[in-house]
Structure 1
């Protein structure tokens, strides 16, 4: 069960596609965070969603907001994926311990071994303010993220 709005967001530290460690606390007090979980790099729906975010990046990476995308892929796979698709924002690896952060947010599918499509809008104080969780084949609507961010 995914964590609900009003809940303090579980903190984490994960490696990005360049091997750097990124944590949720890095943005506390400074930026709202769009935390997006997706199943796997190089898959059709995931690539479509992440490229749509790339194409609208100023709405999700700016002085007030930071996009963090999390999958259960290794950092090495994420690096190739980001280079291939021109993804300039952090792709975080929840590879090992496998799915630990995805589980903390309640979006890890134990049968599939990956995160489902969960998005959490987290305010500057670290509280989840909005969330959506879709099944593996169902893409999310980026306009919903923009609307949720506008309420903060």
Structure 2
């Protein structure tokens, strides 16, 4: 599992931003850093919806710090666009449909009792312009949300 101080694994993924575009982390870091990557297990589930809406509620603060927030899950980009629309999310959502990013970050988890395997653990990574992870939080409990004040403070340290 990657952690604070590690180089963020680079990736290319579909970006659901109302449309569907290609997103590459290293390219985004050139213009959008610092980047907050908020991994969540699945769109349209209670805690994940609450989490993404909490990031939306704090989006102005992240924007004021010149940070860019992206949610990321194993859902398809089409599902993520619908999720964005229904929850009025103004930030992009990245589709890790093939589980490559989840595996690269080492944050895969299973809901074996439900027959669901390989979803992302609820995790947040702050990545600076050099591609270094300056903050990491990973939960083994999918019902626990991140400490949003802590994430915001981690971004503020980079300002």
State the TM-score, normalizing by the size of structure 1: 0.92
Q: What does the per-residue CA deviation read over 1:41-83, in whole Å, with 9 as the maximum and x for residues that have no partner?
A: 0000000010011111112235721111100000111111111
Give aligned pairs, total: 149
Q: Give, in whole Å, the separation in 1 of the partners of 2:102 and 2:122.
A: 10
2:28 alignment counterpart: 27
Bigger proportion of residues as helix:
2
2:119 counterpart of 1:120 = no
In angstroms, what is the RMSD of aligned CA positions?
1.4
Alignment partner of 1:75 out of 63, 74, 77: 77
State whether residues 77 and 95 of structure 2, in contact with CA within 8 Å, keep that contact through their aligned partners in structure 1. Answer: yes
State whether residues 27 and 124 of structure 1, in contact with CA within 8 Å, keep that contact through their aligned partners in structure 2. Answer: no
1:53 alignment counterpart: 55
Q: Give, in whole Å, the separation in 2 of the partners of 1:35 and 1:102.
A: 12
Give SS of 1:35's match: strand
Gaps of 5+ in 1: none
Q: What does the per-residue CA deviation read over 1:21-53, in whole Å, with 9 as the maximum and x for residues that have no partner?
A: 112112324320101100000000000010011
2:156 counterpart of 1:150 = yes
